[in-house]
Amino acid sequence: MGLVKSKMLRLGKVEGILKIVSSNIIQAILLLFVMSLFPCLPAQDKLPLFHSLEEAHPDKEMPVLLIFFSTRCHVCWEDLFEMKYFIESNNLKIGLVAVSYDREDELIRFMKKYCFYYPVICDLNKKIYRRFGVQDEPFWLLSLGDKILYRYNYFMTNEQRKEELKKCLTKIGIK
């Protein structure tokens, strides 16, 4: 009887801990677990991995959101997936391209693991980083051809930047 009572007390403690932990964290963990069970990307030679912006986004008439990120930066991932979801859920006519100076094998592993099927540019020499004056990740840039419509502002909070970008995306993505 003592063993059953002991196990029930431990179970009660675990339930108490789970109540303390945010449900969002649990949902994120479950989502990552489920995503790891079902690989959804094609073989390596079919992944949308490029080496230039012209290859990744050839349509100069369509706005493109460039998200500079690193596979080692979890904040970058959050921004990347949040903007992907925002564009998709609002049916915006905007291209999304991720740019990173990580090695190809790291990017391929990232794309497969997180089912990221949007174009990714492997910019090992940081040519695109220099072209747009990007110093660090995360960094967002919205452009239409050579015209920059939105540029990441380091002097704003992350939430302010996201709200400003979402307003800009909505405004131009509906046209």
* The pLDDT of residue 43 is above 50: no
For 63-92, write each residue's pLDDT tens digit: 999 999 999 999 999 999 999 999 999 999
pLDDT, position 41: 46
Strand order of the β-sheet with 147-151 is 49-50, 120-122, 95-100, 64-68, 139-144, 147-151
CA pair distance 58, 127, nearest whole angstrom: 17
Q: What is the enclosing helix (H) or strand (E) of 19?
A: helix 2-20
Instruction: Give the mean pLDDT of 109-127.
Output: 94
**pTM of the entire predicted model:** 0.73
pLDDT bracket for residue 45 (50, 70, 90) = low
